[in-house]
Amino acid sequence: MAPSTTPTKIPSLQIQRQQRRLLQPLNSPKHKRVSASLPAALLQDFFTADDAAETSRHLKVREAGRRASDETLAVHAGEKFTDGAVVVGTDSIATPVVSGTTHWFKNSEDLIAFKEGRRQSFEYGRYGNPTVKVLEDKISALERAEATLVTSSGMNAIVATLLALVPPGGHIVSTIECYSEARTFIRDRMGKMGIKSTFIDIDEDMESFLKDVLDQNDDVTLFYADSPTNPMLKCLDIRRIAQLCHQKGVLVCIDSTLASPINQKPLTLGADLVLHSATKYMAGHHDVIAGCISASEALISKNAAYMIIRGLKTMALRVEASNRTALLMAHLLEAHPKIDRVHYPGLESSPWHHLAKTHMAGYGGVVSFEVKADLHGTMRFIDALEIPFIATSLGGCESLVQQPAGMSFWGHTDEDKANNGISNNIVRFSFGIEKFEDLRDDILQALDRI
Ligand SMILES: Cc1ncc(COP(=O)(O)O)c(C=O)c1O
């Protein structure tokens, strides 16, 4: 098992939402510990399908999930043993690979129901993907965890965890024999961020060393180590370490790669986090790089690479079409009596027009504009549109429309929205490659409906 030579990936904003999900139970000193008495409690969480829609068959399946062994969970958790099939939206036995990056909403009420958790769905690929969710749920079942984050490599999982759980100026305790690239990252990269690190020798009297370090340093927030270690296969007393650490409010994260979830479940021993290089046992065929956090994503990555190559071949045609439509529409909207203001660098009225003229060959397909209406009037305009999807993201063949106050800034305070220049009546339109005249007519008829 050679150490990876993959360059360390600093986690991007890409995983923030998922990180939040992962860390929610862990952030507070009184973080909710995963119960060792799962899977019953755990699987209850899995089956939070809408009660009204639940059939007796569903109940039977739920029961089966509660009793299931690891072998059976590995096959069915996240799929038959959940409402996963509903999420993915097919009856296919093989897990469908959902490659779409953005998901659309039927209307504003549909969006709000999703935002308020009344409807289970997905918004944007960076926040969650149906196929990846199946994988995450399966790993959660095997680890007796409440949630799992799938990342693009084991190293990515490590870096994401360390950065999320050790604050700038904080202190991390690890072992000399933790995975070498993790150690380098902790020592060199985190060191540059002013984060202190102490590496304990497993061979010495580890327990008393750890106790001393924790007694003498009240800035420690995380204990991070492999068990078993690579390659010497030394094992930690996770239960004892967790006891010592928890007395001081320190979280425990175990890299359990060498064990696999079949052989060891650190959460049931008291650890707060467990991570894996899923490249190893979890994927198991030497053909995927993933963290506990991404066998499926690796599959999707391959797909995505193919699709990007295909997409690049038509990129110039698509971008030119969007540029043209957006510029025409920006002019038209600027002159429309129901529009307060149009934001588009292709307009002479834009404060960035002169700069854009020198920097850009075209001004792009996204136009933002302020409708003469309040939050609900603007929603009425959006709901009256027939061609674009109500969805976040931009740059695709299909036109997309969104009201930031109801989408990316949903739930933000008025002050926060104001600080970001987001008023309730702003609409962001990403023009696709549909015919300009059709989009124009659609927008004009929708404006009439405000
Ligand atoms: C114990 C352990 N943790 C983490 C990693 C890193 O995982 P990946 O190569 O998937 O980034 C490795 C890789 O060899 C490993 O052995």
Q: What pLDDT is attached to residue 60?
A: 62
Contacts of 394 (CB under 8 A, 6+ apart): 365, 366, 400, 428, 430
From the CA of 154, how far away is ligand 1's center (Å)? 5
Phi-psi region of 233 (alpha: psi -120 to 50; beta: other; left: phi over 0): left
Interval between CA 156 and ligand 1 midpoint (Å): 9
Tell me, using a 6 A CB cutoff, whether residue 3 lines ligand 1.
Answer: yes
| Nearest atom in ligand 1 to 230's CA | 1
**Per-residue pLDDT of the chain in tens (450 residues, 90 and over written 9):** 333 333 223 233 233 333 333 333 333 222 233 333 333 333 344 334 454 455 555 556 666 666 777 777 777 888 777 754 445 567 777 777 788 888 999 999 999 999 998 988 899 888 888 888 888 888 888 888 888 888 888 898 999 888 888 988 899 999 988 988 899 999 999 999 999 999 999 887 889 999 999 999 999 999 999 988 877 778 899 999 999 999 999 999 999 888 888 887 899 889 999 998 887 877 776 767 788 732 223 322 335 343 445 445 566 788 889 999 999 999 999 999 999 999 999 999 998 888 888 888 889 898 999 999 999 999 999 999 999 999 987 787 889 999 999 887 888 888 888 877 789 999 999 999 999 999 999 999 999 998
**Residue 440 CB neighbours (<10 A):** 15
Which of 179, 224, 275 to probe ligand 1 with, by most ligand atoms within 8 A of CB?
179
Query: How many residues does the structure list for the chain?
Result: 450
Q: What is the torsional sign of CA 198, 203, 209, 211?
A: positive
User: Ligand 1 centroid to 229 CA: how many Å?
Assistant: 11
Is the CB–ligand 1 distance for residue 255 below 6 Å? yes
* Mutation test residue for ligand 1: of 224, 263, 280, the one with most atoms within 8 Å of CB: 280
Pairing outcome for strands 426-430 and 400-402:
antiparallel
The response to whether residue 179 sits with its C-beta less than 6 Å from ligand 1 reads: yes
Residue 393 phi, psi dihedral angles, 5° rounding: 80, 175
Cβ atoms 329, 287 nearer than 8 A: no
Q: Is the Cβ atom of 175 under 6 angstroms away from ligand 1?
A: no
Do 417 and 149 meet the contact criterion of CB atoms below 8 Å apart? no
297 ligand 1 Cβ < 6 A: no
Q: Which residues pair with residue 255 across a beta bridge?
A: 226, 275
Strand 389-390 to 366-371 pairing: unpaired
Tokens representing 61 are: 């399946």
The per-residue pLDDT for range 369-407, each reduced to its tens digit, is 999 999 999 999 999 999 999 998 778 788 999 999 988
19 Cβ inside 6 Å of ligand 1: no
Does residue 405 have its Cβ closer than 6 Å to ligand 1? no
- What is the rounded CA–CA span in Å between residue 208 and residue 106? 60
Instruction: Answer whether 403 contacts ligand 1 (Cβ < 6 A).
Output: no
The full 3-state SS of the chain, as one line of letters, equals CCCCCCCCCCCCHHHHHHHHHHHCCCCCCCCCCCCCCCCHHHHHHHCCCCHHHCCHHHHHHHHHHHHCCHHHHHHHCCCCCCCHHHHHCCCCCCCCCCCCCECCECCHHHHHHHHCCCCCCCCECCCCCHHHHHHHHHHHHHHCCCCCCCCCCHHHHHHHHHHHHCCCCCEEEEECCCCHHHHHHHHHHHHHCCCEEEEECCCCCHHHHHHHHHHHCCCEEEEEEECCCCCCCCCCCHHHHHHHHHHCCCEEEEECCCCHHHHCCHHHHCCCEEECECCCCCCCCCCCCCECCCHHHHHHHHHHHHHHHHHHHCHHHHHHHHHHHHHHHHHHHHCCCCEEEEECCCCCCCCCHHHHHHHCCCCCCEEEEEECCCHHHHHHHHHHCCCCEECCCCCCCCCEEECHHHCCCCCCCHHHHHHCCCCCCEEEEECCCCCHHHHHHHHHHHHHCC
Please give the distance, rounded to the nearest whole angstrom, from the Cα atom of residue 30 to the centre of ligand 1: 30
Any ligand 1 atom below 6 A from CB of 300: no
Separation of 218 CA from ligand 1 center, angstroms? 30
Q: Is the CB of 272 under 6 A from ligand 1?
A: no
Mutate to test the pocket of ligand 1, among 161, 181, 285 (most ligand atoms within 8 A of CB): 181
C-beta of residue 47 within 8 angstroms of C-beta of residue 83: yes
d(CA 255, CA 222): 13
Q: Does ligand 1 lie within 6 Å of residue 4's CB atom?
A: yes
Indicate the top mutation candidate among 1, 151, 257, 301 to test ligand 1's pocket, ranked by most ligand atoms within 8 A of CB.
Answer: 257
Query: By CB neighbour count within 10 A (0-12 exposed, 13-18 middle, 19+ buried), where does 192 fall?
Result: exposed
As a whole number of angstroms, the distance between CA 407 and CA 423 comes to 12
How many angstroms separate the alpha carbon of residue 275 from the centre of ligand 1?
10
Strands 251-255 and 273-275 turn out to be: parallel
Q: Give me the residue label for tokens 């066998």.
A: 295
